[in-house]
């Protein structure tokens, strides 16, 4: 397994497949309809414009096993040091350390970017993702009850955060 920087040309189709499997079969994404290649163009363009990384893991054959990224947490200037991250693993490769490698790389990228807080919005029933975040030092920051409705039931959204030691000299404005 090797870490790679994902790009639209090489990885959009695989990322789209991973997204759509999660939309159809889990509460990892609070979406109902599959995404399209057109949405992937916009997604990648937004990541590139804002200099947000898209990190992937590939096997020896070059197949994408999973990916992670982060993006804007809240679009207010004072939130510039906080991002919301996500990590998704192809269904056949879950439980094999892919998410740990992706999260460690994401934390390193956020540190290098002089960010201060990583936020993960996790379905409160997703004990595997919660355990992963806690293992990596994230702490529970709160839960919004009944934040979404999917699969015929109300879903609670738990927020987990990791506070980094960066930036050394944060500034207003």
Residue ranges per structural domain of the chain: 2-116
pLDDT tens-digit series, residues 33-92: 999 999 999 999 999 999 999 999 999 999 999 999 999 999 999 999 999 999 999 999
Q: What is the CATH number of domain 2-116?
A: 3.40.630.30
CA-to-CA distance for 35 and 91, rounded, in angstroms?
17
pTM: 0.93
Q: How many CA atoms lie within 13 A of 59 on its CB side?
A: 9
| Spatial separation of the C-alpha atoms in residues 32 and 50, rounded to whole Å | 27
pLDDT band at 173 (very low <50, low <70, confident <90, very high): confident
| Rounded CA separation 166/157 (Å) | 27
């Amino acid at each position: 397994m090797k870490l790679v920087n994902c790009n639209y040309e090489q990885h959009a189709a695989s990322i789209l497949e991973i997204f759509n499997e999660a939309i159809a079969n889990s509460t990892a994404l609070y979406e109902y309809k599959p995404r399209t290649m057109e949405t992937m163009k916009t997604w990648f363009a937004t990541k590139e414009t804002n200099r947000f990384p898209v990190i992937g893991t590939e096997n020896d054959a070059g197949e994408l096993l999973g990916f992670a990224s982060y993006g804007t947490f809240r679009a207010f200037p004072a939130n510039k040091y906080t991002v919301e991250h996500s990590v998704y693993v192809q269904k056949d490769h879950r439980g094999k350390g892919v998410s740990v490698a992706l999260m460690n790389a994401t934390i390193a990228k956020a540190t290098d970017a002089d960010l201060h807080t990583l936020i993960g919005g996790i379905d409160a029933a997703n004990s595997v993702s919660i355990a992963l975040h806690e293992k990596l030092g994230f702490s529970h920051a709160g839960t919004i009850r009944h934040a979404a409705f999917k699969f015929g039931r109300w879903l609670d959204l738990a927020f987990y955060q990791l506070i980094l030691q960066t930036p050394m000299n944060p500034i207003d404005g």
